[in-house]
Structure 1
Amino acid sequence: MVDSTVRTRVLIVGAGPVGMAAAIELGHRGIPCLLIERNDRVGYAPRAKTTNVRTREHFRRWGIADALKAASPLGVDYPSNVVFCTRLSGQELTRFENALYCAPGRNPFYSEHSQWIPQYTVEEVMRSHIQSLPNVEMRFNTQLQKISQDEQGVQAEAVDLPSGKAYVIHADYLIGADGARSLVREAIGAKLEGTYGLARHYNIVFRAPGLAQAHKLGPAIMYWQVNGDAPSLIGPMDRGDKWFFMPTSVKEDYKLDLADAPALIRQATGIDLPYEILSSDEWVASRFLSNSYRDRRVFLAGDACHLHPPFGGYGMNMGVADGVDLGWKLAAVLKGWGGRQLLDSYEQERRPVHALVLDEAVANHSVLSHQLWTDGLDANDATGAALRKDVGARIQTSKMREFNTLGVMLGYHYEHSPVIVPDGSPEPGHDFVNYIPSSRPGHLAPHAWMHDGSSLYDHFGQYFTLLASKNAPSEAIDEAQRQAKALGVSLKVIQPQEAGIAELYPMLLTLIRPDQHIAWRGNAWPSATQGLMQQVSGCR
C-alpha cells in the first residue's frame, strides 16, 4: 500500500560520490532533485582513497575544495609516496614520489592537486555541501522497489526501511548511481558485459599504534610488500593509527578468518605489534561495461555501468565525472535550452572514456606484489642486492602508468560527440603519462594561472563561456551573445590578457562548456544559419 507521493525533477538512486556529484550539479543550477539511499552511508571500508586532480577541480567549481583539504586526516602535506619493499621491516626496492600528483603547490596543468583521503570523508564533505543547497533533498534508509516510465516522466516506488512506509516518487528523469548491483540497471534491462573474476582480494582495516614508527621506509600512502609469505599492499588510511591491508595473492578457495588476520599482517610486515581488526570485506576484480547506459528517461552512472580493478585510482573519480556530465545536461534540458541530442551525448561521450580507463586499470592490475617476487629477493648479500636492483627497475617500468597518469586524468576527450563541433585538426594519440593541453574541440580546456593569482577556470561561467582573444573582433562577440540569448543559453565572455593564455588558445574564439571541455573554436563566429549554438546545446 502506498502511503504518500513525492514530486521532484530528478530522482537519484544512490547517495555515494556519483549520485552526490549529480545532485550538486543540479542543485547549483536550481533544479530540484531527490537522492535516496538504502544505507545510512556510515562506512569504514577503504574504498577509494585518491581524489584526483580532475575531481578536485570540480570541487573547486562547487566551492568546497578547501573544505576537502581541511578534512584530510593525514594532512595535505603528507608525502604521497608509494614505496615498494620486501616488507615494512625489510628492504626497499624502489619508490614513486608524489604519486598521483597529491603534492600541494601550483602546477601549470591543473588548478587543484590530488588528495589522499578516504572516500567516506569525501562523502561527508559532499553531503555537508548538499545540505546547504535548498533544491536538493537526501533520504537515507530508503529502498527503491521498482520503476516505470512514460512520455511524461518516471514513477518510482520506494520504502522507508525504518518505518516500512511505501511511497511513489514522480520525477522527470532518474539517475541510477546505485553501484555494481544496481537495481536501476536491472529495471531497464541493461547488462554488464566483460570479464568477471580477474582476481579475489580482501580489504582489511585495522588499528596499529606505533606502526608508522616501527619501520625505516619513511612516510608513504602505500607500501607494496613483495615477499613470498604474504605479498600485499598496506598503508595509512585515517587518524587514530588506522591502516588498510590488502593481500594480493588470494587463492580461489581461501576464506579469511578475521581471527587469523593479525598473524597475516605480522607475517607480511615482519613487525610484531598488537593489530586490532576493525573490518574486512572481500571483493573480486572484474572488467565490465554496461551494454546500455540509458532507457529513455532513466540513466546509469558510476559503478552501475562500469566496473574495473581499483588500481590507478580511477573508479570514484570517473563516477564523479559521470555525475557532472549528466547533471549539467539534465539541467539544460529541464531549463528549456538543452535538446534531445544533449542527453544522447552522455553515453556517446562517457563510454569511450570508460573503455579507455578500464583498459588502464586492468593493465595496472596485471602486475601485483606476488608477481614481482623472486627467490632470494630479500637476501642480505650481493645476489640479493642485484635482484632488488633488477626488480626495482622492472617496477619503475611496469608501474609508472599507475602512479604517473596525468595523461589519463586530464587527457581524455569527447572526440565524436554530437554536441562537439570538430575543426578538422588531427586526433592526437593517447599517452597515459604525458598530458599535452589542447584547445581542440572535445578536449579539456587548457588550464592557466592568471596574474592576480586566480585560476583561469575561476573565470568560466556556470554554463557556456566564450574565451576571446584580445584581438577578437567585437562584432563576432556581439553575434555570439545575440545567438545565445535567442536560444536562452547563458554565455559568459572573457578576454584574458595574459600572453601565456593566448599560446594555449591560438584561435580568436573558443567556446567552453559547463564541464570545462571545448565545444568549438574558430577565428570567426558562424552565422545563425549554421546553427553552432543549436548544435552544442543539442537542439539539432
Structure 2
Amino acid sequence: MKTSPPVIPRVLIVGAGPAGLALAIELGQRRIPCLLLERNDRVGYAPRAKTTNVRTREHLRRWGIAPQLRAASPLGVDYPSNVVFCTRLSGHELTRFENAFFCAPGRNPLYAEHAQWIPQYSLEEVLRAHAQTLPGVEIRFNSEVLAFEQDAQGVHVTVRDLQREDTYTVSADYLVGADGARSLVREGMGAKLEGQYGLSRNYNIVFHAPGLAQAHALGPAIMYWQINEDVPSLIGPMDRGDTWFFMPTGVPADFRLDAEGSAALIRRATGIDLPYRALSTDEWVASRFLGDNYRDRRVFLVGDACHLHPPFGGYGMNMGVADSVDLGWKLAAVLAGWGGEALLDSYMAERRPVHQMVLDEAVANHALLGNQLARAGLDADDPAGAALREDVGARIQAAKSREFTTLGVVLGYRYEDSPVIAHDGSRAPQMDYLNYVPSNRPGARAPHAWLHDGSSLYDHFGEGFTLLAHADVPETVVQAVRERLRAAGVPLTVLRPAWGAFAELYPTRLTLVRPDQHVAWRGDDWPDAPDALVARITGHTAVASPRQKAFA
C-alpha cells in the first residue's frame, strides 16, 4: 500500500450522486476543501428520478446554477407538466392533474423557483460541472472506498484507484456517506436500515419510441398512468430523441423482462404498434427503510444511505439534496470555527423526523397504483364503461392530489425538535400535506416573496445568518445583533425590507434566518443578554427538550 500525494481535504464524500454533489457544492461555496470519491467513471449512469422539486431548485438558485438546469431541460422548460390517467395511451382518459409538481415557469409568491421535469443524470451533470469550478472541490472518479477508520484526529479512508489498480489512504476531518442503498459507509459505522422490504416489484424500462408522442390523442404530459387489468403501468417522455420510460408496476415474483420482451409489453400496454427499442431494463423493488443512526462521531450519512422509499411523489432524490444542505452548512460552520458540536448533533434530530413523514407519504402514494385502480370493463365503449371511468376518475382525484400537488410537504416541513432552533413556545400548526402556509415560526422555512425590483427575497440572504428587521426597529438594536454575532464569529447579513407585505409574512419585528433559509429565532426585541440564544443557534449549547424551552 502506498500513500497518495499530500491532499488537504477537510471533508471526504463517498458517492457522486445528487446528495454527494450537493454536499460538495455546499462546502465548496463556503471555501471548505473537500474530496468526492466515486467508484464509477462518471456521474449519471442510471435513469432514476425525474422531478427536481421547487425546494431543490431554490437551492440551485442559491448556488447560482438554476438557469443552467433550466437550459438543460430536454423537453423544454415550457413543456406541460401534466399527469394523465388513462386506460392506455390508445384508450380513454380518466382524469388529469395539470402543472403537477408545480413545474410551470412563472412567478409564484410562495417559492423562488418552479420545479422541473428533467432526468436525474442531467441534474447530476449540472451539479458536477458547477462543483468542479469551485476551488477546493476535487472529484475523483474510478475511486472505490474499501474501508475506513476514525480517531481523535480524523477519518482515514482506504481507496482503490480502479484505473491504476493501486490502493492508497487519504484522511480528513469528516467522512460523509452519500453512497446509496448499499452504503459501505453505513455498514462501516454500524448503522442499519430498518423497515419493510418488498412492498412491490416493478420494472423501469428506458426505450426509443419514434413517433409515440404523435400516436395518441391524450396531449403532452410528463407521465401517463395506464389503468387496466392487462398491464398496469406508467409511461412518459424522458429525454431528447424520442426517449421514453415505461414502468410496469406490481409485477409477480416470477416475472422476467428482457429487451425483446420489453418492446412487446409496451405494445400491449399502450395499444400502439411502433418499432420500440429498449435501451435499458432494470428491476426495482419498492421498500420502506429508515436508518437507525446517521452519525458515528466523525462519520455521517445522507440520501439513500439512510432512507429509502417508493418513488411516488418525487421525494427521494430531492430529500437527499436537502440532507446535504442541512449537513453542509453545519460542517462548514464547525470547520470555520464558529459552529459548535451541537450543530452536528442536530443533523439527525432535524432530518430524521422529515424522513419519517416523507416515507409515510410515499408509502401512502404507493398503496394506490394502477394495479388497485383497474376494473373490468373500464375500457368499454358503452354507457357502463363511461360510468365506470367517471367513478374511477373521481377516486383518482380524491386520492392522488397529495402525490402531485404537495407543496405542504415540499415547503412546509419544520424542524420542531431541533436543539439548535430557538423555539418560542408557539403552538405548531397542524401539518397540511397539500397546502403550504408561509410562517416565520422558528424551524420553518423562511417565507418567500418577490421584491419590487424583480428579485427574490432569498437573493438577498447571506452565506451565513440573515437578520430581517422591520423598518421601525432602532438602528441601535440592529447594531447590537451585529456586534454579538460578530463577536461569535458568525457571518451576518442585515435586511430591512420596506415593501408592504413584509410585515404580514414576518409579523415579529426581528427574524434570524439560518444559512439553509430556515428560521432560527424570531422576536420583537433582541434579548438584553443574548449569549444563551447565540450559543444555542450556533450549536455551542445542547438543549434536551427544544419544544419546552423558549427564549424571551
Q: TM-score, normalised by structure 2?
A: 0.97
- Quote the residue 1:2 is aligned against: 2
Q: Which amino acid aligns with 1:46?
A: P
**Is the aligned partner of 1:162 residue 2:166?**
no
Contact 2:467 2:512 in 1 (8 A): yes
1:275 equivalent to 2:312? Answer no
Kindly provide the CA deviation profile for residues 131-166 of structure 1, in whole angstroms up to 9, marking residues without a partner as x.
Answer: 110110000110001000011100000011011111
2:141 is aligned to 140
Q: What residue number does 2:548 align with? A: none
Q: Determine if contact 1:470/1:495 at 8 Å carries over to the other structure.
A: yes
State the shift of 1:494 in Å: 0.4
Paired with 1:251 and 1:41, the residues of 2 have a C-alpha distance of 34
**How do 1:399-410 and structure 2 match up within 5 A?**
399-410=400-411
Q: Output the CA distance in 2 between the equivalents of 1:278 and 1:245.
A: 11
SS at match of 2:199: strand
Matches within 5 A, 1:319-468: 319-468=320-469
- Mark the CA change 1:45 to 1:156 in structure 2 (over 3 Å): closer, same or farther: closer
**Residues 292-334 of structure 1 deviation map (CA, whole Å, 9 limit, x = unaligned):** 0000000000000000000000000000000111110000000
Q: 1:109 to 1:529 in 2, by over 3 A?
A: closer
SS at match of 1:531: helix
1:64 aligned partner: 65
1:179, 1:163 → 2: CA distance?
25
Given that residues 3 and 170 in structure 2 are in contact (C-alpha distance below 8 angstroms), is that contact kept between their aligned partners in structure 1? no
Structure 2 counterpart SS, 1:426 = coil
- Displaced runs of 4 or more, over 6 A: none
Gaps of 5+ in 1: none
Task: State the Cα distance separating 1:11 from its structure 2 match.
Answer: 0.2
Displacement of 1:533: 1.4
Deviation at 1:4, TM superposition (A): 2.2
Tell me if the contact between 1:45 and 1:279 (Cα under 8 Å) persists in the aligned partners.
no
**Counterparts of 1:209-358 in structure 2 under 5 Å?**
209-358=210-359
CA displacement at 1:43 relative to structure 2: 4.2
DSSP-derived class of the 1:401 partner: helix
1:182 and 2:183 matched: yes
Secondary structure of the 1:203 match is strand
What SS class does the counterpart of residue 473 from structure 2 fall into? coil
Matched, 1:504 2:500: no
In 2, distance between residues paired with 1:345 and 1:501? Answer: 30
Distance in 2 (CA, whole Å) between partners of 1:63 and 1:412 is 24
Please give the residue correspondences for 1:66-215 in structure 2 after superposition, counting only pairs within 5 Å: 66-215=67-216
User: Structure 1 residue 424: deviation in Å?
Assistant: 1.1
Offset, 1:530: 4.2
Q: What SS is found at the alignment partner of 2:175?
A: strand
Letter in 2 for 1:434: N
Give 2:13's aligned residue: 12
Q: Does 1:525 align with 2:526?
A: yes
Distance 1:501 1:524 in 2: 17
Q: Which moved more, 1:254-263 or 1:56-65?
A: 254-263
Distance 1:316 1:210 in 2: 30
Of the structure 1 ranges 266-275 and 43-52, higher mean CA displacement relative to structure 2 is found in 43-52
- Pairwise CA distance, 1:45: 3.4
Q: Report deviation, 1:41.
A: 3.3
The alpha carbon displacement at 1:529 in A equals 5.1
Cα distance in structure 2, aligned partners of 1:201 and 1:343: 37
The amino acid that maps onto 2:528 is S
Report how far residue 472 of structure 1 moved.
1.1
- Contact between 2:259 and 2:277, CA under 8 Å: does it hold in 1? no
Task: Judge conservation of contact 1:45–1:203 (CA < 8 Å) in 2.
Answer: no
The Cα shift of 1:252 comes to 1.2
Distance 1:376 1:204 in 2: 28
Structure 1 CA distance, aligned partners of 2:485 and 2:453?
A: 29
Question: Counterpart of 2:164 in structure 1: which amino acid?
Answer: S
Counterparts of 1:42 and 1:523 in 2: how far apart (Å)? 48
Counterpart AA for 1:379: A
- Give the letter aligned to residue 283 of structure 1: W
In the TM superposition, residue 505 of structure 1 has moved relative to its aligned partner by: 0.2
Contact 2:8-2:33 within 8 A present in 1 as well: no
Separation in 2, partners of 1:509, 1:421: 13
Q: Which amino acid aligns with 1:180?
A: A
Aligned-partner SS, 1:154 = strand
Deviations 1:349-403, CA, capped at 9 Å, x for gaps:
0000000000000000000011101101000000000000000000001111100
Look up the equivalent residue of 1:458 and give its one-letter code: D
Question: Do 1:83 and 1:94's aligned partners in 2 also have CA atoms closer than 8 Å?
Answer: yes
CA distance in 2, matches of 1:51, 1:466: 29
The secondary structure found in structure 2 opposite 1:407 is helix
The answer for unaligned runs of 5 or more in structure 2 is 542-552
CA deviation profile, 1:163-209 (whole Å, cap 9, x unmatched): 11111111000110000000000000000000000001110000010
Contact 1:510 1:520 in 2 (8 A): yes
How far the C-alpha of 1:487 sits from its partner, in A, is 0.6
Contact between 2:469 and 2:510, CA under 8 Å: does it hold in 1? yes
CA contact (8 A) 2:294 2:348 kept: yes
Question: Is residue 258–residue 281 contact of structure 2 (8 Å, CA) maintained in 1?
Answer: no
Amino acid at match of 1:77: D
Q: Distance in 1 between matches of 2:155 and 2:283?
A: 35
1:494 aligns with 2:498: no
How many residue pairs were aligned?
540
2:256 aligned partner, one-letter code: K
**Contact 1:519-1:536 at 8 Å conserved across structures:** yes
Shift of residue 344, structure 1, vs aligned partner: 0.3
Q: What is the aligned-residue RMSD (CA, Å)?
A: 0.9
**What amino acid maps onto 2:170 in structure 1?**
I
TM-score w.r.t. length of structure 1: 0.99
